[in-house]
């Protein structure tokens, strides 16, 4: 092997021994008081994507909901940290939609019995070219 390959291997080894950032930077907090952290990407040491996570207010609640904006940021679908105004605006829209959905459900219940459902009106065409020989034999007998 050439010298340049060994020098790159040695340089990568030395870089791997250097201390790295292990404590994340606090990026924000949502209205449920969950805290969101990030360790930024560092291409010099081979880290191309940032590490992102959150610390929930209830440590044992694994079914806890997250605001959609923060979840998108955690998964890397958005680059900018969501601001409080945006999250609260979308929360208000979500609550209005829930209220309107309850109103519609009360005014127009979607309860149908099977006898009330209309029978299908159209049937599939039967083409002789596509019938199997067994089906043709059954029709003759």
What distance in Å separates the CA atoms of residue 61 and residue 87, rounded to the nearest whole number?
A: 22
How confident is residue 6, by pLDDT bands cut at 50, 70 and 90?
confident
Instruction: Over range 125-135, report the average pLDDT.
Output: 70
What distance in Å separates the CA atoms of residue 112 and residue 115, rounded to the nearest whole number?
A: 8
The encoded tokens of residue 89 equal 């605006």
Whole domain around residue 74: which residue ranges?
Answer: 17-108
The pTM of this model reads: 0.57
The encoded tokens of residue 137 equal 């034999």
Is 10 within a domain?
no
Is 121 within a domain?
no
What distance in Å separates the CA atoms of residue 94 and residue 106, rounded to the nearest whole number?
A: 19
What's the pLDDT tens digit per position in 46-97?
667 788 888 888 888 777 888 999 999 999 999 899 998 999 999 999 999 9
pLDDT for position 70: 92
Question: Is the CB of residue 25 less than 8 Å from the CB of residue 37?
Answer: yes
Q: In terms of C-beta density within 10 A (0-12 exposed, 13-18 middle, 19 or more buried), how is residue 71 classed? A: middle
Is 128 within a domain?
no
How confident is residue 125, by pLDDT bands cut at 50, 70 and 90?
confident
pLDDT for position 114: 53
Is 127 within a domain?
no
What's the pLDDT tens digit per position in 83-115?
989 999 999 999 999 999 888 888 877 654 455
pLDDT for position 97: 95
Q: Which residue has the tokens 């149908």?
A: 112
pLDDT for position 82: 93
Task: Report the number of distinct structural domains present in the chain.
Answer: 1
In the predicted structure, residue 20 carries a pLDDT above the cut 70 = no
């Amino acid at each position: 092997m050439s010298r340049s390959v060994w020098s790159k291997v040695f340089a990568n080894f030395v870089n791997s021994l250097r201390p790295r950032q292990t404590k994340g930077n606090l990026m924000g907090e949502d209205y449920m008081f969950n805290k969101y952290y990030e360790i930024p990407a560092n291409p010099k040491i081979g880290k191309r994507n940032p590490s992102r996570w959150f610390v929930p207010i209830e440590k044992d609640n694994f079914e806890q909901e997250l605001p959609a904006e923060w979840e998108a940021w955690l998964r890397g679908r958005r680059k900018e940290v969501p601001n409080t105004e945006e999250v609260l605006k979308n929360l208000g829209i979500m609550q209005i939609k829930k209220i309107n959905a309850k109103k519609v459900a009360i005014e127009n219940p979607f309860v149908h019995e099977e006898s009330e459902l209309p029978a299908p009106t159209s049937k599939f065409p039967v083409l002789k070219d596509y019938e199997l020989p067994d089906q043709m034999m059954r029709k003759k007998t």
